[in-house]
Amino acid sequence: MRIKEMFEDDINRNINGVVKVDEKTDATISQEVKEYVITKELKKHFVTFFNAYSESFDHPTTDIGVWISGFFGSGKSHFLKMLSYILQNKEIDGRPTVDYFKDKFEDDELTFDLIEKLTETKAETILFNIDVESVTSKEDAVIRVFAKMFYNHLGFYGENLKVARLERFIDKKGKTEEFRRVFEEKNGESWLESRDSFDFYEDEVEETLQEVLGMSEKAAENWFNGEETDQISIDRLVEDIREYVDTKPDDFRLLFMADEVGQYVGTDNHKLLNLQSIVEELGSRCQGKVWVVCTGQEAIDQIIKVRNDEFSKIQARFSIRLSLSSSSVDEVIQKRILRKNEAAKKTLSDVFANSESVMRNLFTFTGSTLDIKGFRGKREFIQDFPFVPYQFTLMQNVFAQIRKHGNAGKHLSGGERSMLSGFQEVAQKLEDRDERTLAPFQMFYDTVQTFLDSSIRQVINRAQKAADNHEGLEQCDVDVLKLLYLIRYIEDVPSNVDNIVILMADNINLDKVDAKKKIVESLDRLLRQNKIGRTGDTYNFLTDEEQDIQREINNINVDNTEIVREISQRIFGDIYPSSKYRYGKNDYPFDRWVDDLSVGQVQNGMSLRILTVATDETDKSELQLTAKSADKDSYVVLADTKYYDLLLQALKIHKYVKQRNVSQLPQTQQTIIRGQQEQASRYEREATDALQEAIVNGVFYAAGERIQVQGSDANSKLDHVLDYLVSTVYNKLELVHKHYDDKFAEANLKDLFQGKGERAAAFEYEENYDAAKEVDDYLERQRRQNLRVTMNDLQKRFTTIPYGWSLNDILAVLGLLTGYQKITIKNSGNTIRSNDPKILDFLSLRSEVGKTEICKRISVNPSTIKEVLDFLRDYFDEMDIPNDEDGLADYIVKAFGKQQDHYKDLLNKYNGHHYPDKNAVLGAVHLLSEILSQQKDNTALFTKIIDKEDELYDSRELLSKVEDFFTNQVSLFNSADHLVKSLEPDKNALEGISDAHEDLKQIQRILDVDVPRYDYRQIPKLNDLMSDLEEIHDKLLAEKRNELNATIQDCRGEIHSKMEDSREHDVAKEISDQADRKYEKIKEDIRNTRVLAYFALFENQIIENKDFAVKQLDQLNKPKPVVDPSPKPSAVTPKPRTVKSIDRRLVFNQTVIKNKEDISSYLQQVKEKLEQLLEDSDEVDIK
Q: Give the C-alpha distances (Å, rounded to integers) separating 637 from 573, 581, 615, 666.
A: 18, 20, 9, 46
Largest distance between two CA atoms of the chain? 186
Neighbours of 922 (CB within 10 A): 14
Paired with 827 in beta bridges are 830, 852
Find the DSSP H helices in 440-496.
445-448, 454-468, 475-486
Cβ(267)–Cβ(40) below 8 Å:
no
Ramachandran angles phi, psi of 320, nearest 5°: -100, 110
pLDDT at 369: 63
3-state secondary structure of 188: coil
The secondary structure of 854-898 as a DSSP string is EEE--PPPHHHHHHHHHHHHHHTT-S----SHHHHHHHHHHHHHH
* pLDDT confidence of residue 796: 93
Least Cα distance to 215 among 248, 181, 179, 239 occurs for: 179
Given a contact cutoff of 8 angstroms between Cβ atoms, the answer to whether 985 and 1093 are in contact is yes
What is the SS3 string spanning 490-554? CCCCCCEHHHHHHHCCCECCCCHHHHHHHHHHHHHHHHHCCCEEEECCEEEECCHHHHHHHHHHH
Distance between CA atoms of residues 384 and 352, nearest Å: 12
To which H or E segment does residue 1109 belong? helix 1095-1117
| Torsion-angle region of 330 (φ positive above 0: left; ψ -120 to 50: alpha; else: beta) | alpha
pLDDT recorded at residue 831: 84
pTM of the model: 0.52
How many C-alpha atoms does 779 have within 13 Å on its Cβ side?
A: 24
Per-residue H/E/C for 894-947: HHHHHHHHHHHHHHHHCCCCCCCCHHHHHHHHHHHHHHHCCCCCHHHHHHHHHH
314 in Cβ contact with 276 (< 8 Å):
yes
- In this structure, the dihedral spanned by the alpha carbons of residues 331, 332, 336 and 339, taken in order and rounded to 10 degrees, is 0
Contact between 560 and 614 (Cβ < 8 Å): yes
Q: Which residues of 41-59 are buried (b: 16+ CB within 10 A; e: fewer)?
A: bbeebbbebbebbeebbee
Q: How far is Cα 96 from Cα 429, in angstroms, rounded to an integer?
A: 37
d(CA 939, CA 889) in angstroms, rounded, equals 9
Q: CA–CA separation, 128 vs 258, rounded Å? A: 5
Give the angle 964-968-973 at the CA atoms, nearest 5°.
105
Q: What is the pLDDT of residue 454?
A: 82
Rounded distance between C-alpha atoms, residue 1172 and residue 200, angstroms? 150
The candidate with the shortest Cα–Cα distance to 507, out of 351, 350, 346, is 351
d(CA 66, CA 87): 15
| 8 Å CB contact between 1026 and 975 | yes
β 290-296/253-259 pair status: parallel
Distances (CA, A) of 1129 to 810, 872, 1011, 1121, 1126: 123, 111, 85, 19, 10
Q: What distance in Å separates the CA atoms of residue 167 and residue 935, rounded to the nearest whole number?
A: 125
Bridge partner residues of 611 (DSSP): 637
Residue 408 has what DSSP assignment? B
Average pLDDT, consecutive stretches of 10 residues, N- to C-terminus, the chain (1183 residues): 93 72 73 86 92 92 91 82 93 91 88 92 93 78 92 91 89 91 89 87 88 88 76 90 94 94 79 89 94 82 52 73 78 88 94 90 78 84 94 86 62 54 92 94 89 85 93 94 92 90 94 94 93 85 86 90 95 94 87 94 90 93 92 94 92 92 86 88 92 96 93 94 92 90 86 80 88 94 92 93 91 90 88 88 94 88 89 90 86 93 92 90 93 85 91 91 92 92 85 87 89 89 91 90 90 88 85 91 91 85 88 78 55 57 61 77 78 72 70
Alpha carbons 801 and 819: distance in angstroms, whole number: 27
State the DSSP string of 249-264. Answer: -TT-EEEEEEESHHHH
Residues 6+ apart with CB under 8 A from 381: 348, 351, 352, 359, 375
Upper half-sphere CA count for residue 694 (Cβ side, 13 Å)? 23
Q: Enumerate residues 6+ apart whose C-beta is below 8 A from 89.
A: 96, 97, 98, 119, 123
What span, in angstroms and rounded, lies between the C-alpha atoms of 704 and 729? 11
Whether 238 and 278 have beta carbons less than 8 Å apart is answered as yes
Predicted pLDDT at 353: 92
The identity of residue 806, as a single letter, is S
Backbone angles phi, psi at 266, to 5 degrees: 50, -125
The phi and psi torsions of 540 (rounded to 5 degrees) equal -140, 145
Please give the pLDDT value at position 857: 83
Going from the C-alpha of 283 to that of each of 68, 278, 831, the distances in angstroms are 18, 8, 100
Q: Using an 8 Å Cβ cutoff, are 690 and 576 in contact?
A: no
Between CA 238 and CA 259 the distance in angstroms is 20
Crossing angle for the helix pair 714-729 and 667-696, nearest 10 degrees?
50
Question: Which residues make Cβ contacts (< 8 Å) with residue 512, sequence separation at least 6?
Answer: 362, 501
> Do the bridges between strand 633-637 and strand 607-611 make them parallel or antiparallel, or are there none, so unpaired?
parallel
Q: Is 828 helix (H, G, I), strand (E, B) or coil?
A: coil
Phi, psi of 591 (to 5 degrees): -75, 145
Amino acid at 984: E
Q: Is the peptide bond before 386 cis (omega within 30 degrees of 0)?
A: yes
CA-atom Rg of the chain in angstroms: 63
Contact 273, 281 (CB under 8 A): no
Q: What is the pLDDT of residue 413?
A: 41
Give Cβ neighbours of residue 465 (< 8 Å, ≥ 6 apart). Answer: 471
Cβ atoms of 631 and 668 within 8 Å: the answer is no
Write the pLDDT tens digit of every residue in 553-564.
888 999 999 999
**In the 8-state DSSP scheme, what is residue 574?**
I
For residue 856, the cross-strand partners are 823
Closest CA to 286 of 55, 61, 126: 61
Q: What is the pLDDT of residue 1126?
A: 55
